[in-house]
Structure 1
Amino acid sequence: MTREEDALETGPLAKLEQAAGKVRSIELQAEQGCTSQVRRVSTETGTYILKSATDSRYREWLRVEAERLRRNTGEALLPIPKFAAFHEETDGSHLLMSCEKGTTLTAALKAAPPEEKKALLRSFGRFLHRFHERPPVESLAHDGDWLEERLAAARLYLERGQSEGDGKLLDELVRNRFAPVRQTMIHGDCTADNVMVHDGEVYLFIDVSGMTIGDPRYDEALAIGRFVDAPELLEPFYEGYVRYRISEAELRYHEGLYEFF
């Protein structure tokens, strides 16, 4: 048994094998987020991704992500991984999902020459445009105002010392809210790290705990944040994302909100 398998031996591994079959190998992924430990798991039935979290806040996010994946069934499938299993223990939570083809947009952009980068960002824009234009699916329906919920959560994280934002920024966000726009489905953490590329096309979202019905400007702000000052990259994105072009003030507002999450 490898060191990675040994780390899971005390309970989660047995639960995962009930869902996916006998484990053959487990490999810790170098490319992973700061909220979870990510492993690639090969079993007798296929290859999966295993996300594990120990911090209470990140465990809650993982629980929500598991529910998003689990409920993604029927004819109107969202472009997200497939649910396999979810298991919680006293000291950790574990989500098993399909291992999808391709790489993250972040990794693809690093390896791409200039013209290919433009094509990738154009594809990213088209992908997000189509997602925001789709009729919302029933599984994402919720009561309440998305921004009010985000501001309330931001205050809670601030009080717990779990946020990079500060009280002054939060007060400014509360005072300076923009007029609402038509709510759409949103990813909620729509950075280049959280979309997958295959054969030169962006085709899939990952890390979907924030997926809900909300303000599409939030997704847009996070999508362009890394290249907003690079017109040669920004313009191809907007050749794909033609439904709305966020203003400078809207961009800064939603980037500020993101600091709390």
Structure 2
Amino acid sequence: MSHSSPEQTCMQASLPTAIGATLAAYAWERNKVGQSGASLHRLHGRSDAPDLFLKHGTGAIADHMTDEMTRLRWLGQFVPVPSVVHFVRTPDQAWLLTSALKGKTAGELLASRPELGPAIVDALAAFLRRLHAIPVEACPFNSDHTVKLRLARQRIDAGAVDVDDFDDERAGWTAEQVWASLQDHLPLAPDLVVTHGDYSLDNLLMHDGEVVGCIDVGGAGLADRYQDLAIAWNNLGDYGEALPDRLFLQYGLPFPDRRKLRFHLLLDELF
């Protein structure tokens, strides 16, 4: 596994006037990690101002960033997330400027300190319980499997699914094969909670043994709890068999629903 820096120094990007003045005298680094389709820069180096992150996208990515902005502002009432410093939207572009959270991602910590695996999993489970405890009646966003299936179908028809990125279990499959397998798992009786939408190791920031915030929340909303559990469980599988099992135990599900787990792993392949 590579431990190279996920960032590289770069020149300042072209910016709307409303944001440009805010970012004077910052040093810029482009983040090379992630699959959101947006460009992401870390802005740092000012002793008189905090570090920031700037995300930019066009087309459908700009739409997703608009979703992320509204969810950041809502989720911040309940769990730590980056604060929205500035947001600019034009018909075909979006710029989202947010505060930088302290800490390292759970993925970075596991890669560099594998002996901390059990403690990291316990922290991930605790934060997920906190997220899933947000009252469902307070959530204005619907991200359940019916919504995601509709979006997945659109992505398949547009040829936007990266079949080369499928998990080893589905290596060589087509997107249509994944779609057909999903149908075999329906109907699904959802146990709705407020979900992150992409509860991966790269989207959870940790400091002093605790999760101190989550990022990339554009898909947050009401969905079955296995939407989050499946992604975290799958990520942890890269670090052995014990950590995924520990996640369910610490979360409070010693006997996970394997059918729901398989369904959400299949669904995630299409995004």
Out of 4, 16, 20, the residue aligned to residue 19 of structure 2 is 16
Q: Is contact 2:10-2:29 (8 Å) kept? A: no
Unpaired segments ≥5 residues, structure 2: 1-8, 163-173
Pairs within 5 Å for 1:14-93: 14-18=17-21, 20=22, 22-42=24-44, 45-54=49-58, 56-72=59-75, 76-89=77-90, 92-93=93-94
1:226 is paired with a residue whose SS is: helix
CA distance in 1, matches of 2:34, 2:148: 25
User: What SS does the aligned partner of 2:232 have?
Assistant: helix
> What's the secondary structure of 1:204's corresponding residue?
strand
What does residue 257 of structure 1 align with? 267
Residue in 1 that maps onto 2:167: none
Runs of 4+ in 1 over 6 A off after TM superposition: none
More displaced stretch, 21-30 vs 217-226: 21-30
The answer for the alignment partner of 2:165 in structure 1 is none
2:11 is equivalent to residue 4 of structure 1: yes
- Deviation (angstroms), 1:72: 4.3
Match of 1:160 in 2: 158
SS state at 2:160 partner: coil
168, 172, 175: which one pairs with 2:181? 172
The residue that corresponds to 1:122 in the other structure is 122
Cα distance in 2 for residues equivalent to 1:245 and 1:206: 29
Task: Using the TM superposition, give the Cα deviation of residue 53 of structure 1 relative to its aligned residue in structure 2, in angstroms.
Answer: 1.9
What is the distance in 2 between the residues matched to 1:137 and 1:47? 34
Once the two structures are superposed, the pairs formed by residues 190-201 of structure 1 within 5 Å of their partners are 190-201=199-210
Residues 17 and 23, structure 1, Cα contact 8 Å, conserved in 2? no
Q: What CA distance in whole angstroms lies between the structure 1 residues aligned with 2:213 and 2:254?
A: 21
Query: What is the distance in 2 between the residues matched to 1:93 and 1:142?
Result: 20
Q: Quick one: percent identity of the two aligned structures?
A: 25
The letter for the 2-side match of 1:141 is P
What residue number does 2:96 align with?
95
Shift of 1:95: 0.7
TM-score (norm 1): 0.84
> Which residue identity does 1:70 align to in structure 2?
R
- Structure 1: distance between partners of 2:253 and 2:194: 14
2:218 aligns to what? 209
For 1:51 and 1:186, locate their aligned partners in 2 and report how far apart those are by CA, in whole Å: 22
Residue 179 to residue 88, structure 1, CA distance change in 2 (3 Å): closer
Letter in structure 2 aligned against 1:78: V
Coordinate RMSD, CA, aligned: 2.5
> Which residue identity does 1:51 align to in structure 2?
K
Distance 1:135 1:81 in 2: 21
> Structure 1 residues 200 and 40, CA, compared in 2 at 3 Å: closer, same or farther?
same
Query: Alpha-carbon deviation of 1:33?
Result: 4.0
Structure 2 residue 243 is the aligned partner of structure 1 residue 233:
yes
3-state DSSP of counterpart to 1:193: helix
Match of 1:187 among 196, 200, 209: 196
Structure 1 unaligned residues grouped into runs of 5+: none
Q: Deviations over 1:163-201 (max 9, x none)?
A: 136223213323422541321000111111111111121
